[in-house]
Amino acid sequence: MLDPIPANALAVRLIPSVAPEYARQLGLRPDQRSLGLLTADNDDATYVSIDEATKMADVEVVYAHSFYAGARHASGPLSGEIIALLAGPNPAEVRAGLDAALRYLSTRALWYSANAEGTIAFFPHVISQTGRYLSQLCGVPVGSPIAYLIAPPLEGVYGLDAALKAADVQLASYTPPPSETNFMGAVLTGTQSACQAAALAFQDAVLEVARRPIEY
């Protein structure tokens, strides 16, 4: 149990100069001339990774969306569970953003297995300082600590209640089950230590359900 489950980038491309008509369709500003494209086999790991990109380069997340039913039901082998687009003023900044996102995706944005079979996966992730993307998405100031919590439906609902009771945190964002990928999720905000305590309580609750599913 608690074996890490790394996410994998499936396809990455850089468009040095976006076609003007497509730039207008995407709502790009005149200074956003270059575009980075990324697909991966885990959506929430990618969301936190592209937020990291906004902290490490002059890029903005201009589009990011999960695919329905998850990576196992993707439209193709390179589609995965999500597509994300990073826009920047030039190829160098977009490449730096993609590099940062890919590093975080492979080393920091780890899911974990809650059972020996590896069939129950969850994401008790703490970010010490949010970047521009997650801050806007969750309505918190840039640089806020957050606990980014994802689990299967019942495990997640039970774990979120435990997390909110365990620490002085507030619910910044809630995705009720089912999401596009049939999980549930929440973002909690507070001090870094409070977010860590909430994430640990969430983790313990998910593990408890995995050990004893029928108990009330």
Taking 70 as the pLDDT cut, the residues of the chain under it are 1, 71
> What per-residue confidence (pLDDT) applies to 159?
98
Provide the CA 12 distance to its chain's centre, in angstroms: 17
The token pair that represents 198 in the structure block: 């909430």
> What per-residue confidence (pLDDT) applies to 3?
94
> What per-residue confidence (pLDDT) applies to 73?
79
Cα(131)–Cα(22) distance, rounded to whole angstroms? 26
Which sequence spans correspond to the domains of the chain? Answer: 7-109, 114-211
Please, what CATH class does the domain formed by 114-211 belong to? alpha beta
> What per-residue confidence (pLDDT) applies to 109?
98
Cα(151)–Cα(118) distance, rounded to whole angstroms? 13
CATH architecture of 7-109: 2-Layer Sandwich (3.30)
Rounded (to 5) percent helix, strand, coil in the chain: 40, 25, 35
Q: What is the pTM (predicted TM-score) of this model?
A: 0.96
Strand segments (E) across 16-53: 34-40
